[in-house]
Amino acid sequence: MTEEDKLLEEVTSAEYKYGFVTDIDSDTIKNGLNEDVIRLISSKKNEPEWLLEWRLEGFKKFQKMTEPEWANVHYNKPDLQAISYYSAPKPKKKLDSLDEVDPELLKTFEKLGISLEEQKHLTGVAVDIVVDSVSVATSFKEKLGELGIIFCSISEAIQEHPELVRKYIGTVVPQTDNFYAALNSAVFTDGSFCYIPKGTRCPMELSTYFRINQAGTGQFERTLLIADEGSYVSYLEGCTAPSRDENQLHAAVVELIAMDEAEIKYSTVQNWYPGDKEGKGGVFNFVTKRGICHKSAKISWTQVETGSAVTWKYPSCILKGDNSIGEFFSVAVTNNYQQADTGTKMIHIGKNTKSTIISKGIAAGYSNSSYRGLVKIMKGAENARNFSQCDSLLMGDKSGSHTFPYIEVKNKSALIEHEATTSKIGEDQLFYCNQRGIGTDEAIGLIVNGYCKDVLNQLPMEFAVEAQKLLSLSLEGSVG
């Protein structure tokens, strides 16, 4: 039997490491989606009237929309009436320090490898953690406050900084953008908020961990990040969920606003529960992420996607200002029966705008990985430049890799380059490693990490190490 044949039979043996459930008392509302539920969420969160109106408006628009079917993924559409739209760990009183956090929850963080205290003292990473629907702890707030940086849950921002939220929410991803964005607008329960004042360089990485815990809940977080003129911020997000037989829905919206000469680096390591070896369970990850760049601003998306049963996600940049820059670096790994349809949109509006797309797809087992990208050069975008590179790596002969690049150019001065490759991890490569004493699992880790190097290099150091391990772990045992 050849290596390739064995691969067909032996799908991953690595268990999902984060598949535990935390036994905490949750305040979960009845399943179902209607106006009353939205009013209930809004009142539970003590929201101002304008936000309730905004949610209801979103809901009305949502009701007229249908679930998109153009993506190269196949799944049973989630029953949106069978989901609870609000679940919060009790007690819900406002937390001022970690001592007030439920000890069970703290244990969860430990299992996730997030020791808040340690993070605070050693790495200088400020963390906001969202479990199910609400944010439970934000570290480092005071220190950031001294610089005028606001980093908190979006619920808190709605209470404390309503003018900022009201001004920017929905400006990059309008309610009508798509089915799931509309749903999110109606029912979002928490998420992170960040504002970096003019000319300020955020001195530490800001980090959010999202976790779905409660069964039968969906997670609809909303993140809003505003970098004012000439500021800089690097933002990380990580995601995990318990192993459950049913599919859980995660439909987030992330909006980034980079004002003139600002720079935002947004990195994601997405490790939602991918389902079991037979493709049962797992998270549906239907996410809308988009940023807008004003003059000479720059937004860089970096994502390492290893989890979720189905991923539908296109972090995009609207290059509105002249001389602005958009970047997208992506690694998407699928194994077993996972499906991913992911990519980016780069919309060039301003003059001399530049965009770079580096996408690395890896498909093993029976999985399917698709890259879908749009590069659009508008009429007024003189001298726009784009470089795209889309590589696919296949393991075995039951996995699939697909590329759907769209290019629309309305200005003759544009220069667009597109490169694409498809390769397989060859028996020759594996044997070469084996002969040097490197076992097959280690060899796959080595080869895959090498293949993804251009993307991993974009991640902050600590995150890159974690992502490397995750890549190896996701593919462990995928070759016999």
Partner 1 sequence: MLKIQDLKVEIDGKEIIKGLSLEINKGEVHAIMGPNGAGKSTLSAVIAGRDEYEVTGGTIEFDGKDIMDLAPEERAHAGVFLSFQYPVEIPGVSVTNFIKTAINESRKAKGLDPIPAKDLLKLMREKQQLLEMDKQFMSRSINEGFSGGEKKRNEIFQMAMLDPKLAILDETDSGLDIDALRIVANGVNKLKNEDNAVMVITHYQRLLDHIIPDFVHVLYDGKIVKSGDKNLALELEAKGYDWIKQELA
Answer yes or no whether residue 46 interacts with partner 1 by CB under 8 A: no
Nearer to partner 1, 50 or 432 (CB): 432
Nearer to partner 1, 240 or 302 (CB): 302
Nearer to partner 1, 317 or 332 (CB): 332
Answer yes or no whether residue 24 interacts with partner 1 by CB under 8 A: no
Answer yes or no whether residue 8 interacts with partner 1 by CB under 8 A: no
Nearer to partner 1, 334 or 440 (CB): 440
CB of 99 to partner 1, least distance (A): 40
Answer yes or no whether residue 329 interacts with partner 1 by CB under 8 A: no
**Quick one: 102 exposed, middle or buried, by C-beta within 10 A (0-12, 13-18, 19+)?**
middle
Binding marks (x or -) toward partner 1, 368..407, rule CB under 8 A? ----------------------------------------
Contact 294, 326 (CB under 8 A): no
Closest by CA to 134, choosing from 113, 147, 162, 153, is: 153
Answer yes or no whether residue 469 interacts with partner 1 by CB under 8 A: no
CB of 2 to partner 1, least distance (A): 6
CB of 441 to partner 1, least distance (A): 10
Answer yes or no whether residue 461 interacts with partner 1 by CB under 8 A: no
Answer yes or no whether residue 453 interacts with partner 1 by CB under 8 A: yes
CB of 440 to partner 1, least distance (A): 8
Nearer to partner 1, 165 or 357 (CB): 357
Answer yes or no whether residue 451 interacts with partner 1 by CB under 8 A: yes
Nearer to partner 1, 148 or 426 (CB): 426
CB of 245 to partner 1, least distance (A): 36
Binding marks (x or -) toward partner 1, 409..448, rule CB under 8 A? -----------------xxxx-xxxxxxxxxx-x---xx-
Nearer to partner 1, 11 or 433 (CB): 433
Answer yes or no whether residue 472 interacts with partner 1 by CB under 8 A: no
Answer yes or no whether residue 103 interacts with partner 1 by CB under 8 A: no
Contact 156, 193 (CB under 8 A): yes
Binding site for partner 1 (CB under 8 A): 2-3, 426-429, 431-440, 442, 446-447, 449-454
